[in-house]
Chain A
Amino acid sequence: MTAGASGGTLGTAPAIPPSRGPLALPARIRASWSERSRQERLALRLLLPMFGLVFVVATVPFILAVIRAVTSDTGTFVGADNLGRALSNEQLYEAIKQTGVYGLVFLPTEILLGLGIALLVHRTVRSPLVRAAIYVAAMIPIVIPQVAVGVVFRLLYIPDYGLINVLLGQTGHDQILWLSNPSLAMFAVASVDVWQWTPFVYLIMFAGLQTVPPESVEAAQLDGASSWAQFRHIELHYLRPLLLLVLFFRLADVLRVFDHVYILTGGGPGTTTQFLSLYLYRIAFDFSDLGQASALAVVVMAFMTALYTVISRFLPADTN
């Protein structure tokens, strides 16, 4: 009630009679200031307990990971032993390399493909109905659980029953062992990523293209600008922040990749698709070396936080 009674200070400002003279003004300003700080106190009272709790709950695991990283299984302090063991494992570097290759395969493919299709649809499809149909269709791969996507692609790639091998067989070709051939396994798991996330890039790019003012495009066309010039000098300008956004989320996802790879290859054959996340899983839960895994987890979390700090500056998101 009290908040309501004085909460209208700003709204009722014109009601203050002008006849009160210059003396009234400081009082009103003072009132509005104290009201403001009162509201701010209310905001802090509401925010701090809940946010503090959440912050602690989310930060405790990180602290525990740090503690676990410098202790042995029995809880004695071992310093950098765990980290040393982690860093001297050659499979770690193999995992980092494979993760890098994977990212370098799927990120550019998804972005170029998604952008290309968005431009194509933007320029050739005029019917709102077809556009809406593409919109819904593009959303399907995105909302499907990764595990189910793994199942879908098993049914494409496995020998004998897999759709691709069925088609190869019917056209008189030999089967291809997509998931157990070392040089093809990487392609197979990356193709899943491209299948699932190119539509995501498409949707964002297509939404971005709708914000380009038609006048500037028409003016350029009147001047005889080519389709490429139109893209390069006008559309790209509007898409740049969105491209950054896509890069931001997909970059965060490079280290999240787990589900579909675990289902398709389990990191194999050998270690050819054992990305960092699968490697960490193996260390922690197959080898039960929680010390080494915690040391790696801390390094990864610190690295990603640093990467976030750098990238988030360029984001179109409103964080201030």
Chain B
Amino acid sequence: MTRVATRIVTWAVLVLTFAIFVFPLYYLIVTSLKTKAELFQAVPSLFPHDPTIEPYVSVLIARGFLGLLLNSVIVGLASTTLALVIAFAICYPITRLPIRPGLRGFVLNWALSLRFLPPIAVVIPYFTIVRTIGLYNQIPALILVYTIFNLPLSIWMLKGFLEQIPAEVEEAALVDGGNRFQAFRLVILPLASTGILAAGIIVFAFDWAEFLFAFILTATPQSMTFPVGVQGLVTQFEIIWNDMAAGGVIAILLPLVLMLFARRYVIAGLTFGVIREK
């Protein structure tokens, strides 16, 4: 009897928790599908009575957020690629070649310590640099800053994946007469490709979500990223909730889809690869 009672209580707690976590998102989606008329009803509804995609069209076309979306994608792809290439160049020697443990430890420790620096403190000198070299409100500035910002995570994730490849595989290739570059290109790279892709997805999702740097280093739609635009919707056009919600949904959509592909690596990504799913 008490066992049944505890089971019922625990399931009730779980369902309630689940509802608390999901309901805010539900309300966001509902709001983004409402018409202007429905928005200003005396009592806001919990269901869209006349679902419409008009807020999405309004945000993307009329307000021109399609351009911001494009900026976000360009910045994300470029800086993800750069960060991965640099991280790989750093990780290959420290995982696949004999190197003094002290040096290896220094590189990894230093990278992890960057995670502790608050972006707002870092962005203040960046802002001065970017303005001095004439890159203020330019996409390349964001690409550069995002690359540095994402390097620590990229280094730690790639290090984790590269370490998993047994030394024997590479040695076998070397014994078979290949040189180190061939062993790298034909053995290591293919074996690490899943890990590289996973790290790429996580880093891209972080770039996509980044707000503070873009907010401070850009000023016009020419280089603004999507989250900066959404922030503008909130603070400048507060009353047009359906557009604001549509902007939120669009911002959420891409990371959600990416997460479904890389779900096994999300936790690794958030904990610098310290925790890895089996």
Does A121 reach chain B (CB closer than 8 Å)?
Answer: yes
Among A8, A138, A319, the residue within 8 A (CB) of B175 is A8
Does B36 reach chain A (CB closer than 8 Å)?
Answer: no
Main secondary structure on A side of the interface with B: helix
Chain A 236-247 against B: per-residue CB contact (8 Å), 1 yes, 0 no? 000000100100
Chain B residues with CB under 8 Å of A55's CB are 110
- List CB contacts (< 8 Å) of B94-147 with chain A: 94, 97-101, 103-105, 107-110, 112-122, 124-129
Does B197 reach chain A (CB closer than 8 Å)?
Answer: no
Nearest chain-B residue to A284 (Cβ)?
A: B124
With contacts A120-B14, A143-B259 taken as known, whether A156 is within 8 angstroms of B27 at the C-beta atoms is yes
Chain A residues with CB under 8 Å of B249's CB are 148
Chain B residues with CB under 8 Å of A24's CB are none
Bound CA–CA A61/B112 (angstroms): 18
Chain A 46-69 against B: per-residue CB contact (8 Å), 1 yes, 0 no? 110011001101101110110010
Bound CA–CA A298/B231 (angstroms): 28
- List CB contacts (< 8 Å) of A35-91 with chain B: 36, 39-40, 42-44, 46-47, 50-51, 54-55, 57-58, 60-62, 64-65, 68
B125:A4 contact, CB within 8 angstroms: no
Q: How far is the CB of A166 from chain B (nearest CB, A)?
A: 5
Does A112 reach chain B (CB closer than 8 Å)?
Answer: no
Chain B residues with CB under 8 Å of A150's CB are 231, 234
Chain A 260-301 against B: per-residue CB contact (8 Å), 1 yes, 0 no? 001100100000000011001100110000100110111011
- List CB contacts (< 8 Å) of A109-144 with chain B: 117, 120-121, 123-125, 134-144
Bound CA–CA A317/B108 (angstroms): 10
Q: Which of A182-190, A212-220, A304-312 contacts B (4 or more CB under 8 A)?
A: A304-312
Bound CA–CA A176/B206 (angstroms): 34
Does B227 reach chain A (CB closer than 8 Å)?
Answer: yes
Bound CA–CA A7/B274 (angstroms): 31
A258:B211 contact, CB within 8 angstroms: yes
Chain A residues with CB under 8 Å of B256's CB are 140, 143-144
B98:A161 contact, CB within 8 angstroms: no
Bound CA–CA A3/B179 (angstroms): 6
A4:B244 contact, CB within 8 angstroms: no
A42:B97 contact, CB within 8 angstroms: yes
Among A57, A300, A312, the residue within 8 A (CB) of B112 is A312
A148:B171 contact, CB within 8 angstroms: no
A145:B251 contact, CB within 8 angstroms: yes
* Across the A-B interface, the 4 shortest Cβ-Cβ residue pairs: A145-B209, A43-B97, A151-B248, A61-B125
